[in-house]
């Protein structure tokens, strides 16, 4: 069984969808580890509820970035992890991890990339920017991870119609429903298929 680690920094509703999919036998791999960047986050409670191991690796506990990245890599090796899903993970993934897990790390972004992505574009900032733009569509994107925020090749993307009266919070809740369907689907694609990347496009 291919082992997956989920990295989360907060509430963990996407992580919970993976756990549910696994419980229902709909996942072609095993969610075997949650990596949390701090104690007390919702994702840890979910890990305990679904009996998934968790490790807290907080960059503030390390004197320099190298020792932090090494701790992440050592943890992944210890748990024999083959794939990584970033589910609300707020830190950039270091090149050393990307190289070791090339085309095996996915991220979910709550907008239609390449729009409304990049540094500082996370959580409510994204939905507020969409609202301010006046756009009447938004959506979610699952993509492979490279060394820049929200940039790698797209695996799945789905849009949703917005209405003029939608607040940023209403947009967030519409988009979250899409996230919860496409993220487990994209993870399964990654687990089942051999994927390659050509011209910044994913090929299955
Ligand atoms: C999601 O909107 C995800 O797209 C973004 O962070 C949020 C995490 O939500 N990257 P949750 O912790 O999975 O509930």
Q: Is residue 8 scored above 90 in pLDDT? A: yes
What is the residue with the minimal CA distance to atom 5 of ligand 1? 88
Residues 120-148: tens digit of each pLDDT = 999 999 999 999 999 999 999 999 998 88
Q: Is residue 62 scored above 90 in pLDDT? A: yes
The CB of 88 under 6 Å from ligand 1? The reply is yes
Residues 43-55: tens digit of each pLDDT = 999 999 999 999 9
Q: Is residue 150 scored above 90 in pLDDT? A: no
The CB of 87 under 6 Å from ligand 1? The reply is yes
DSSP string over 72-119: HHHHHHHTT--EEEESS--SPPPHHHHHHTTT-EEEEESS-TTTT-ST
Q: Is the pTM of this model over 0.85?
A: yes
Same CATH topology for 1-101 and 109-141+154-204: the answer is: yes
CA distance 140 to 158: 6
The CB of 117 under 6 Å from ligand 1? The reply is no
Catalytic residue among 59, 79, 109, 127: 109
Q: Quick check: is 94 catalytic? A: no
Q: Which atom of ligand 1 is nearest to the CA of 179?
A: 4
Residues 21-30: tens digit of each pLDDT = 999 999 999 9
Q: Is residue 39 scored above 90 in pLDDT? A: yes
Q: According to the CATH classification, is domain 109-141+154-204 in 3.30.110.30?
A: no
Break the chain into its structural domains and give their ranges: 1-101, 109-141+154-204
The percentage of the chain sitting over the pLDDT mark of 90, rounded to a whole number, equals 93
Q: Is residue 204 scored above 90 in pLDDT? A: no
pLDDT score for 195: 83
Over residues 156-164, mean pLDDT: 98
Mean pLDDT computed over every residue of the chain:
96
| Residues 140 and 108 sit within 8 Å (Cβ to Cβ) | yes
pLDDT score for 84: 98
pLDDT score for 146: 87
Q: According to the CATH classification, is domain 1-101 in 3.40.50.170?
A: yes
Compute the distance from residue 180 Cα to the ligand 1 centre, in Å: 10
Q: Which helix (H) or strand (E) holds 35?
A: strand 30-36
């Amino acid at each position: 069984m291919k082992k997956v680690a989920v990295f989360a920094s907060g509430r963990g509703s996407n992580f919970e969808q993976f756990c549910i999919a696994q419980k229902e036998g709909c996942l072609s791999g095993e969610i075997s580890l949650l990596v949390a960047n701090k104690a007390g986050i919702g994702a840890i409670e979910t890990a305990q509820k679904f009996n998934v191991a968790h490790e807290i690796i907080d960059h503030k506990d390390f004197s320099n970035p190298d020792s932090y990245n090494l701790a992440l890599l050592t943890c992944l090796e210890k748990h024999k992890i083959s794939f990584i899903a970033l589910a609300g993970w707020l830190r950039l993934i270091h090149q050393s991890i990307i190289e070791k897990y090339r085309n095996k790390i996915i991220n979910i972004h709550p907008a239609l990339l390449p729009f409304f992505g990049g540094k500082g574009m996370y959580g409510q900032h994204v939905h507020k920017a969409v609202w301010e733009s006046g756009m009447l569509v938004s959506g979610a994107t699952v993509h492979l991870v490279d060394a820049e925020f929200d940039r790698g090749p797209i695996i799945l993307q789905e849009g949703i119609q917005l209405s003029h009266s939608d607040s940023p919070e209403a947009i967030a809740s519409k988009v979250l429903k899409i996230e919860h369907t496409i993220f487990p689907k994209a993870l399964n694609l990654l687990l089942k298929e051999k994927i390659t990347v050509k011209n910044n496009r994913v090929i299955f």
